[in-house]
Structure 1
Amino acid sequence: MIPASPLPGGGDRLFTLGELERLIAERRHAVADKSYTRSLLDAGVPRIAKKFGEEAVEAVIAAVMKDKPALLSEAADVIYHLLVLLQASDLSLDQVVAELGRRTRQSGHEEKASRPPAT
């Protein structure tokens, strides 16, 4: 289970990736000119994938530069855009977690060898 974190503004309520996933799903039905998420979903998988890749590269650069504040910000962008990409691809966070669970039942080398070849 991915840990929850406190919501901004304090209080005891925690924010989870599951909540972010639900929010992204809800935004699919929002007005596009008011919702960045909706505009991304409307643009389709190729545009979302491009944005995800851009954010991932920015996270890598921040990590290499040892810029922790930038890495934290870019990591949040990467996770958000990954969840949007999963939503657009009709996949869920639960499916990703199940896949990670399946992989942990094998050694790293066995698991990697069991994957289909990349196309």
Structure 2
Amino acid sequence: MAPDSAIDASVLDRLFDVVTSRRDTDPAISHSARLLSRGTRKIAQKFGEEAVECLIEAVAGRSHEMIGESADVLYHLIVMWVDAGVTPAEVWAELARREGTSGIEEKASRVPVKS
């Protein structure tokens, strides 16, 4: 895609649709299907590995590499959403709810989760 092309966050919605459509695909031919077939723990582990790789690039000041790792993080986050039955619309709604609220206020307003 050309650098001057209009790009927006709807690419994440499209990626979600692709991952969802691959859920029942043969794991031998789809990376998304393979991840989903391995279960929540493996999906979460892979997300964590990608997040750490992104952090390493950020700390090292390697912006170009951080861009690629960020894309990996977003992909693996979407795989986790599909696995958990969470939709992008739910996440976007939560972000919209928080918009305009300071992070300190938002965090203080959360009800503690009891285990």
Give, as a single letter, the amino acid of the residue that structure 2 aligns with 1:38. Answer: A
Mapped pair 1:21 → 2:10: no
What do residues 17-52 of structure 1 show as CA deviations (whole Å, max 9, x unaligned)? Answer: 111010000110211111110011011111101100
Decide which of 71, 79, 82 is 2:66's aligned counterpart.
71
Give, as a single letter, the amino acid of the residue that structure 2 aligns with 1:52. Answer: F
Distance (whole Å) between structure 1 residues aligned to residue 40 and residue 111 of structure 2:
22
Closer, same or farther: CA 59–12 of 1 in aligned 2, 3 Å: closer
Query: C-alpha displacement at 1:103, in angstroms?
Result: 1.1
- Equivalent residue runs for 1:1-119 within 5 Å: 6=1, 16-117=11-112
SS in 1 for 2:61: coil
Q: Where do 5+ consecutive residues of structure 1 fail to align?
A: 1-5
- Equivalent residue pairs, number: 111
Distance (whole Å) between structure 1 residues aligned to residue 58 and residue 84 of structure 2:
28
Could you state the TM-score of these two structures normalised by the residue count of structure 1? 0.83
Q: Where do 5+ consecutive residues of structure 2 fail to align?
A: none
SS in 2 for 1:34: coil
Moved more, 13-22 or 31-40: 13-22
Runs (4+) off by over 6 Å: 11-15
